[in-house]
Copies of this chain bind each other. A is one copy, B any other.
Amino acid sequence: MLTPTQLTFLNHQRVARLATADKAGVPHIVPICYVVEGASVYIALDAKPKRVAPLRLKRVRNIAENAEVSVLVDRYDEDWTTLGWVRLDGPAKLIVEGQEHADALRLLRQRYVQYESMLPDDAVVIAVRVHRVASWGDLSAAL
């Protein structure tokens, strides 16, 4: 589903943005750390300070009401000939246990050394099943 260039870009970038929407269709965005594996994007409800408990987060309540989400990975530069992005859309689900959950946490810890002290084994994982991929611009400019 992903081209080698898209996958390299996704693995190279460090931050993405997750859009969810509630049942009334009101959108909401947060920055996310992420890892792409196969046809899924994994995001953890990590131990960065939050104002509410993980399962009360707006992103989680939105996914419970409306599973469709959009993940955008983009790169900005003042040279606008080198801009680029990849967008991954599809339904999300929460995963709290099992092999996929353990694998997602392992991949996130490998990718972000910061997670060594901030990602407990019982962290809730959002798995986005990528049904649609779009990309734009020069994905190889920054690699």
Instruction: Name A's B-contacting residues (CB within 8 A).
Output: 14-15, 17, 19-31, 48, 51, 66, 68-72, 74, 76, 78, 80, 83, 85, 87, 89, 114, 118, 136
Q: Are A20 and B27 in contact (CB under 8 A)?
A: yes
Q: What's the least CB distance linking A90 to chain B, in Å?
A: 10
Q: How many Å lie between the Cα of A25 and that of B85 in the bound state?
A: 22
Q: What's the least CB distance linking A53 to chain B, in Å?
A: 16
Q: What's the least CB distance linking A45 to chain B, in Å?
A: 14
Q: Are A66 and B29 in contact (CB under 8 A)?
A: no
Residues of B within 8 A of A78 (CB): 14, 114
Residues of B within 8 A of A48 (CB): 80, 83
